[in-house]
Amino acid sequence: MPPTGIAVDVTDHHHSHQDYKHRFDPTHANGNGAQIAEDEEEDIYREVRKQTRYSDGTVKLRNPNIELMDQDILYHLALGSESHDLNEMFGDVKFVCMGGTPKRMENFAHFIMNEIGYKLPAGTMLQDISAYSYRYSMYKVGPVLCVSHGMGTPSVSILMHEMIKLMYHAKCQDPVFIRIGTCGGIGVEGGTVIITEDALDGQLRNSHEFTILGETIHRPAKLDKKLARELKALASPDDPYDTIIGKTLCTNDFYEGQGRLDGAFCDFSESDKMAYLEKLSANGVVNIEMESTIFAALTYHAGIKAAVVCVALLNRLNGDQVNAPKEVMNEWQARPQILVARYIRKVLAQKGQLKGIFGAQGSIKSPRRFKLVQQESQAHE
């Protein structure tokens, strides 16, 4: 059984390790255990919130060093607290959407712009704000920040530190972070959308292991369960694919680390691999990817509501190679984006901030007249 009651370094240092061990230990749950566990989780969220939010909901850092510094350079984003007016640039951000590749996040930025009816000022276009970092890409579409995070937990870790500090410098209020990714499914077909319930590390622990000053610590890799359920509820019966919730295994490698037989090395047999995948499945794992534990651990530690939504590129019970045709894969990769767009639209609509239908079509009042004007102009070229 995976030790879901991982208990270390979860909130402040005023509480003893034992205290949190008890509070996270699911074994003391009895008849109405699920309710007790949820109530305790709420208590913990409240405690984390005290340390990670100012009274107006803006992000408070759990690092006293930052406010003592003359300037804070967010090196990998090519931004700085004194070189840029971060509040002016990013203060209205409500949703931070992250995904592996720069191109996918650029596509998402254009997609979400249309979905929320956001209009760019006339004559302007989306710019990669972090272009000069040559590391990550970042696009801002009104309240939505779209950022690429690269592959694997170290890359995500660096980005998360800087994104959380960016939220602090910009004075963003209660931002929500969502990872939009790809994964290998276990017992689910390619194209299935998977919302992570819990992120597990390679040893099936619901935590991320950090080595800090030579010491090993674990932080819970917890995601917001309510947000996961809210996202799941936005799946439509008309979607021509399944959207499910389950546990996600996060590995440090794509090949041997995910039990693939097709890496440059492989010292196990096909039956070893299948036994491992079956064991994962028996533990409720429905997909494998490479970023969820660090993403969950750092958002949780920062008191940030977060979710992971991935699309399966293959069913690992059937093979290892990712070989779906490009067009099919592109269509699959749009699926988590569609779900996240529904969520963002829903939240904005609740706040009365969703632009009307004309907004959603950009600045074109009449497509017919627009065409005529274009044709007229071309005639004079």
Binding site residues, ligand R2B, CB under 6 A: 100, 151, 181-183, 254, 289-291
Report the residue number, 313 or 344, with the smaller CB distance to ligand URA: 313
258 is in an annotated binding site: yes
User: How many angstroms separate the CA atoms of 288 and 2, rounded?
Assistant: 16
With residue 233 as reference, give the H or E element that holds it.
helix 225-233
- Mapped onto helix, strand or coil, the DSSP state of residue 35 is helix
Report the residue number, 175 or 181, with the smaller CB distance to ligand R2B: 181
CB-based burial of residue 3 (10 Å sphere; 0-12 exposed, 13-18 middle, 19+ buried)? Answer: middle
Q: How far is the CB of 163 from ligand R2B (least distance, A)?
A: 17
Tell me the residue ranges of DSSP E strands in 278-362. Answer: 285-289, 305-315
Report the residue number, 175 or 184, with the smaller CB distance to ligand R2B: 184
Q: How far is the CB of 243 from ligand R2B (least distance, A)?
A: 18
- Mapped onto helix, strand or coil, the DSSP state of residue 178 is strand
**Binding segment (CB under 6 A) for ligand URA, from list 35-43, 262-270, 285-293, 338-346:** 285-293
205 is in an annotated binding site: no
Q: Is the dihedral of CA 286, 289, 295, 301 positive or negative?
A: positive
DSSP 135: S
From the list ligand URA, ligand R2B, none, which binds 115 (C-beta under 5 to 8 Å, kind-based)? Answer: none
From the list ligand URA, ligand R2B, none, which binds 151 (C-beta under 5 to 8 Å, kind-based)? Answer: ligand R2B
Q: How many helices and strands in the chain, by DSSP H and E?
A: 11, 12
Figure out which of the listed residues 231, 288, 302, 308 binds ligand URA, where binding follows CB under 6 A: 288
User: How many angstroms separate the CA atoms of 188 and 131, rounded?
Assistant: 37
181 is in an annotated binding site: yes
178 is in an annotated binding site: no
The yes or no reply on residue 280 touching ligand URA (CB under 6 A) is no
From the list ligand URA, ligand R2B, none, which binds 100 (C-beta under 5 to 8 Å, kind-based)? Answer: ligand R2B
- Residues 226 to 255 in contact with ligand URA, rule: CB under 6 A: 254
What distance separates the 2 farthest-apart alpha carbons in the chain? Answer: 79
The yes or no reply on residue 285 touching ligand URA (CB under 6 A) is no
Residue 218 φ/ψ, nearest 5 degrees? -120, 140
316 is in an annotated binding site: no
User: How many angstroms separate the CA atoms of 75 and 276, rounded?
Assistant: 40
User: How many angstroms separate the CA atoms of 90 and 190, rounded?
Assistant: 36
User: How many angstroms separate the CA atoms of 196 and 181, rounded?
Assistant: 11
66 is in an annotated binding site: no
From the list ligand URA, ligand R2B, none, which binds 288 (C-beta under 5 to 8 Å, kind-based)? Answer: ligand URA
The yes or no reply on residue 190 touching ligand URA (CB under 6 A) is no
DSSP 316: T
DSSP 205: -
Q: How far is the CB of 288 from ligand R2B (least distance, A)?
A: 8
The yes or no reply on residue 289 touching ligand URA (CB under 6 A) is yes
182 is in an annotated binding site: yes
- Asked whether 248 and 199 are in contact (CB, 8 A), the reply is yes
Q: How far is the CB of 11 from ligand R2B (least distance, A)?
A: 28
- Asked whether 33 and 26 are in contact (CB, 8 A), the reply is yes
The yes or no reply on residue 153 touching ligand URA (CB under 6 A) is no
The one-letter amino acid code at 178 reads I
From the list ligand R2B, ligand URA, none, which binds 5 (C-beta under 5 to 8 Å, kind-based)? Answer: none
DSSP string, 21-32: HHHH-GGG--TT
Separation of CA 296 from chain center: 8
What Rg do the C-alpha atoms of the chain give, in angstroms? 22
The pattern of x and - marking residues 310 through 339 that bind ligand URA according to CB under 6 A reads ---x--------x-----------------
Figure out which of the listed residues 184, 191, 220, 259 binds ligand URA, where binding follows CB under 6 A: 184
Q: How far is the CB of 14 from ligand R2B (least distance, A)?
A: 36
Figure out which of the listed residues 258, 293, 299, 337 binds ligand URA, where binding follows CB under 6 A: 258
Residue positions forming the annotated binding site: 135, 179-182, 258, 260
Contact residues toward ligand URA (CB under 6 A) are 182-184, 254, 258, 288-290, 313, 322
Residue positions forming the annotated binding site for substrate: 258, 260
